[in-house]
Structure 1
Amino acid sequence: ELRRFGHNDINHFERVLKGIEEETGAMVVVDGLYSVFGDLAPLPEMTPICQKYGARFMIDDAHGFGVMARGRGTAAHFGVTDDVDLIMGTFSKSFASMGGFIVGDEDIIHYIKHHARAFLFSAAMPASNIAAALAALDIIENEPERVDRLWEVAERMRRGLKELGFNTGDSVSPIIPIIIGEMEPTLIAWKKLFEAGVYTNVFVPPGVPDGRCLLRTSCMATHTDEQIDRALNILDDVGRELGLNG
């Protein structure tokens, strides 16, 4: 049985867990860093509630690894790594490869290896993808200045967007949305930005709730200050033309 709770709504989250019979058991699954709006799950508040009701806690940190806590992920950012039962992620984001991983207690991982349906009749990762992921991990561990630079770029972008009057929501990460609202102006803005040399990801329902259409910007450590400033200038021009900012 699957039960949902409101986005980052701690009170609703506890009510849902409280309503599950103790002998049934429960596993809570959340994103660490949300991939569209760039906000974080309130892990410090969720962890003790999971412990209170005996629920297992699993974090999908596909977008957090390589970004939060100098690359160690959202649980490390909040200091709750030891209180989380399972953490999974992907090699297709910060690790610039393919495949993924899941970490937890040895007995749980052993069970997953022998019972997870994704393992049935599946092939191993290609050696080239493994080598790429390992190389990326080595860079994340030994070149922390790259992660520091990522945050410098992200803060420059976020600050600039806010100063221009754009709605960036609750983003606290290098994933920075420009929330527009309705679908038509969002799609028009995306096309105009693309033609002007700025690429964004466009999100419309069902990828986002009705009335929350947006353009997602994603910063990289390799972006220069000049590139960010140029993108902001183009965003300002398009925003003013369509009446989206200010």
Structure 2
Amino acid sequence: MSTQLLEHTDITSIDSRLKAWTTGRGGREQDWPVLMDEETLKRAGYPDAFPHLMMTACVGTDPESAPGTLSSSGWCLSPAVCYHAYAALEGSIIHGGLRLAARGHCFRNEAADELSPGRRQIEFQMRELVLIGSTQWIEQELAGVQGEIDTIASNLGMPGSWEIANDPFFLPTAKGRAHMQRLMETKREYCLHDGLAIASINRHGNFFGERFHLSLSNGQAASSACIAFGLDRWAAHAKHAL
């Protein structure tokens, strides 16, 4: 494993480049925790769509007999970076638009037979730029983003293409939502030639604005979007050092 890690471009170097891009676009750097309370995830709709991916933090009710007496603590390991933004801003009025940037550790209970370092992991790191404002403002912010990310990735020896996508882990009962994602083109992924997605642009509409009571100055629910980079995948597949 150590030899394999030495062959990969350092995650910190990759993140420095992507952080420069997010802050260059006006993103205010944030420092969010790994833990997230279950209620926040419920309001974000995560258990409805991805209950099989959630990872909870447990506590020992009796230290003498742990781990047999572990019980839920009411906290989960964060599955995505952007959820922290909506919870932190709950009840806020968004004037103009807001750009927040952060790097964080994320956790998802992936199937054991699908795990592969640099491709699919239970713990991984993400760099995100979260946008909150009116739909028009968000579309203005997203204009040109695909080309800029394409250039960054290509300069690191990772040419790819943008594909219309949906979250691949929707349960059968949620296939309608996944289908709507494709029809409305709310999710686009930058994929390498082997199909591996290393970045995505996700338009949420006013879903999180309504769930977390984020409003515009005119009283309407704010819209949101996030631009996400899988740092482990970037580090594992970058061929040119920064």
Which protein is richer in strand relative to its size?
2
TM-score bin, normalised by smaller chain = under 0.3
From the two aligned structures, give the one with the greater helix fraction.
1
Higher relative contact order (CA 8 A, sep 6+): 2
Normalising by structure 2, report the TM-score. 0.28
- Considering only CA atoms, is the larger Rg found in Structure 1 or Structure 2? 1
